Amino acid sequence: MPKRKKLLPAKTEHPSEWYTTVVKLADLADYGPVRGTMIIKPYGYALWERVQAEMNPLMQAKGVQNAYFPAFIPHSFLQKEASHVEGFSPELAVVTHAGDEELEEPLVVRPTSETTIYNAYASWVQSWRDLPLMMNQWCNVVRWEKRTQPFLRTSEFLWQEGHTAHASHSEAKAMQQWGIDLYAHIYRSIFAIDGYVGEKSTMERFAGANSTLTFEAMMPSGKALQAGTSHDLGQNFSKAFDISFSTKDDSIDYTWQTSWGLSTRSLGALILAHGDDDGLVLPPRIAPTQVAIITTAPQSDTQSAFARQLLAQLTAANVRVIYDDRDDERFGFKLNKWEVKGVPLTIRLGDKEVESNLATIKARYGGEQRQFAVDDQFAIAVTTWLEEIQAAMLAGSVAAKEAATREATSYDEFTKLVQQHGGFIKVFWEDNPATEKQVKEATHATSRCRLPDSSEPGIDFVTGKPTKQQWLFAKSY
């Protein structure tokens, strides 16, 4: 069988081909039978389960409860909020027939669940005592895409979507901020990916929202990835769906709402941000397998017994560890296999290690190799190293983000940076859909998010007018 390295193109030279090849070689996903769909294989789905395991306790501590709502939505629901249906119409998958019968009303396959959830909220909310109402669902959504790439952009993908209803706008705004802070924590804590948090422009915000907060990450290609969003929906949907309640002073008001979502696109960010010419490089906290144990002689009873001893010690310390004891694969093939899968640490056991009671361990990130005595401190040493790797990967992401952020003071300077470097470009700019459309058509770059305003006014890089608003622009996925 050909060596894996010959099958994997260089990431810097052929990034798109590298990406799709890694997804298949690492056994993350395969293509579905319908164009634009994908099959998420167990190793890839295990990454998504790690995200769920991290997020669920944090949401539940906030009082957000998991639920599930139907995948089919009456088309009339989307039409109740004008900007919402306008924003999603080009991507809708619509069902018109069931069996041999034409449906009385077309059904939309869920592109997002605001409408169907808020239709239910209208009957569940009567009084201020019913608020806040906070639910989340883990589900699939369908948005018909013409150009697709596994995880990054597919016609069907998985996500979580949180939906909350509140008695006051200030409470909803606080929830919107909590949502984006949650995503920033997830990316930095388990993905080891740093990014910027800020508000989306009028042109880029969610259809039907008053404002959208985003976490924007920069990929090595120089393109940004919208990694998670949180929306202040105001009373737009509560008025459209009549989610009204009696207040403490016996008046009637409409609820203030938020929605927020993070999808399997995050796994695409993980692949792109950390992967190298040898495959995936997974941060330990999200890695389905943190340690792989490989023996030089699979049929050796002494090596196998030693490997199972290490397996037991690490498992007892809550390390996600596997002993690869397949007898139909050579030692070198196994090393390559776990390397392309991005496992953080690989333990290589031969007769010398068994005789010396040592474990030779190599890190996927950075390639450092260490030897540890197999004693009662062995598991502690391994878990400590895993946390060191996690911290180092985040530090590397912080440095990469800062290196990829440049400033432009004029339109000419901006266009040169877009063409020559890519990355984030920081500019003074007054949010304006007309000028953003102009920039997008000319450079393919869009606003990514608004940063904190400057204490001193600058000059709008398009119009030349004074403004204190600072924004990041970039090309994006």
Q: What is the mean pLDDT of the chain?
A: 94
Percent of the chain residues past pLDDT 70, beyond the cut:
97
d(CA 306, CA 312): 10
Q: Is 141 helix (H, G, I), strand (E, B) or coil?
A: strand
Q: Which distant-in-sequence residues (6+ apart) come within 8 Å of 298 by Cβ? A: 304, 325, 326, 327
- The superfamily CATH assigns to domain 291-400 is Anticodon-binding domain (3.40.50.800)
Percent of the chain whose predicted confidence (pLDDT) is above 90 = 89
Domain boundaries, the chain: 4-274, 291-400, 405-474
pLDDT (tens digit, 9 = 90+) per residue, 36-86?
899 999 999 999 999 999 999 999 999 999 999 999 999 998 888 666 666
Tell whether domain 4-274 is in CATH 3.30.930.10.
yes
pLDDT in tens, 434-463: 999 999 999 999 999 999 999 999 999 999
Would you place residue 381 in the very low, low, confident or very high pLDDT band (cuts 50, 70, 90)? very high
Q: How many CA atoms lie within 13 A of 391 on its CB side?
A: 6
Helix axes 15-25, 265-274, angle to 10 degrees: 110
- List pLDDT tens digits, range 291-313: 999 999 877 899 999 999 999 99
Rounded Cα–Cα distance for residues 441 and 445 (Å): 8
The CA distance from 244 to 242, in Å, is 6
The H or E element containing residue 401 is helix 378-403
Cis, peptide link before residue 132, omega less than 30° from 0: yes
Residue 3: is its pLDDT beyond 50?
Answer: no
Place of tokens 């948005």: 143
Q: How many beta carbons lie within 10 A of that of residue 418, not counting itself?
A: 22
Overall pTM surpassing 0.85 (yes/no): yes
Q: Which is more confident, 153 or 387?
A: 387
Model confidence over 188-213: pLDDT tens digits? 999 999 999 999 999 999 888 999 99
DSSP string, 224-237: EEEEEEEEEEETHH
CATH fold of 405-474, please?
A: Translation Initiation Factor IF3 (3.30.110)
